[in-house]
Structure 1
């Protein structure tokens, strides 16, 4: 999780936003100690840390962060899960600030939820 994504919950007193997960990581250069024993901080080489995590046995890694974090890890992302809501707002945050470049994807799943939301899954073609 990126520091900016972690901040709203932290301000509300939620120091472990994904307590149901066995491991939680927050990427931050400004936090020097974790506010929760279940949350580990990453402040060094982010790509190297993620590659080390990906090499471990176990479940996949869920990236919860903004466009800046996604841009730093764009070459490490194996799948995109995109939630679409039935609202047209006109502006919004980009999925990544990695710059323009075609990255071929393969649709692997689509779910429609009760309120008209759609969750689409895409595998990165390598």
Structure 2
């Protein structure tokens, strides 16, 4: 079965954006990519780079991890503000929103219904690659129980406060995760991959 993978950049204290939910990767933002960070993405997760970045870097690789990206309205709006109606034209793109209405782009499917039900349908599809949950915190909270793998791009930065990894939709339901891969870049960012332990709870 296809996995739902939450691949997301975060601070050491667990925040993915500033309190105003501004684009954390924009110049002057909370989590601005460094050259070694970008190089690692190109080498390992090229499909997670937005279309314009792929074009600028000459990236043509389809990638080996994902063929579908899902996100919430807040995350999608960051791309819209930058003039991108489909930031990931190389992936099947699903946006969950009850307020967006008609899709601004023929390549983007807007779903007003239950994200959990839709993600379960996507996971049951035969073949294909995994599903990337790009953000944001509210959608990650709603899909908390559906996330099979966490890939945390842990930046050597603290925020003090901000938008947490999981938003208010997440229930208090502790889960255990197994570290399955890790890469620490020279600039200090750590790529940490954790797989959910089925039925697992944190040990005492």
TM-score bucket (shorter structure): over 0.9
Q: Which residue of 1 aligns with 2:159?
A: 89
Q: Which residue of 2 aligns with 1:35?
A: 104
Structure 1's 114 and 14: CA in aligned 2 closer, same or farther, altered over 3 A? farther
Q: Which residue of 2 aligns with 1:79?
A: 149
| Alignment partner of 1:121 is 2:190 | no
- Within a 5 Å distance, the mapping from 1:1-126 to structure 2 comes to 1-21=71-91, 23-56=92-125, 57-97=127-167, 98-126=170-198
Report the aligned-residue RMSD.
1.2
1:63 aligns to what SS in structure 2?
strand
1:22-43 deviations in whole A, cap 9, x for unaligned? Answer: x100111111111111110111
Aligned length: 125
Task: After superposing the two structures, state which structure 1 stretch, 109-118 or 28-37, moved more.
Answer: 109-118
Q: TM-score, normalised by structure 1?
A: 0.92
Unaligned runs of 5+ in 2: 1-70, 199-204
Q: TM-score, normalised by structure 2?
A: 0.58
CA-CA distance at 1:20 after TM superposition? 1.9
Unaligned runs of 5+ in 1: none
